[in-house]
C-alpha cells in the first residue's frame, strides 16, 4: 500500500521502499492491461502493464 507521506509535488506519486520479500508459494494471478498510459492504481497500489507481445 502507498502510505509514505512524502509527496513529489510534480507528479503526485507516493513512494515507499520495499520492506521485504517473502516466498508464499504458487498462486493463480491475473494480467490486467490498460490502454493508453498503461498504468493504473488498483487497491491503492500503482501498477504498470508488464505483458509484452
From residue 50, give the alpha-carbon distance in Å to each of 4, 6, 19: 24, 26, 22
- Taking the C-alpha atoms of residue 48 and residue 29, their distance in angstroms, rounded to an integer, is 15
Supply the pLDDT for residue 5.
53
Q: pLDDT value at position 11?
A: 61
Backbone dihedral angles phi then psi of residue 6, each to the nearest 5 degrees: -80, 110
Taking Cα atoms as reference points, which of 23, 13, 10 lies closest to residue 44?
A: 13
- In the predicted model, residues of the chain with pLDDT beneath 50 are 1-4, 6-9
Listed by start position, the domains of the chain span 28-53
pLDDT at 51: 63
pLDDT at 43: 80
Q: In which residue are the cell numbers 502510505 written?
A: 3
Amino acid at each position: 500500500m502507498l502510505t509514505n507521506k512524502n509527496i513529489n509535488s510534480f507528479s503526485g506519486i507516493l513512494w515507499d521502499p520495499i520492506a521485504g520479500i517473502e516466498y508464499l508459494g504458487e498462486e493463480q494471478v491475473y494480467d490486467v492491461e490498460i490502454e493508453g498510459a498503461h498504468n493504473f492504481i488498483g487497491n491503492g497500489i500503482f501498477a504498470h502493464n508488464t505483458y509484452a507481445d
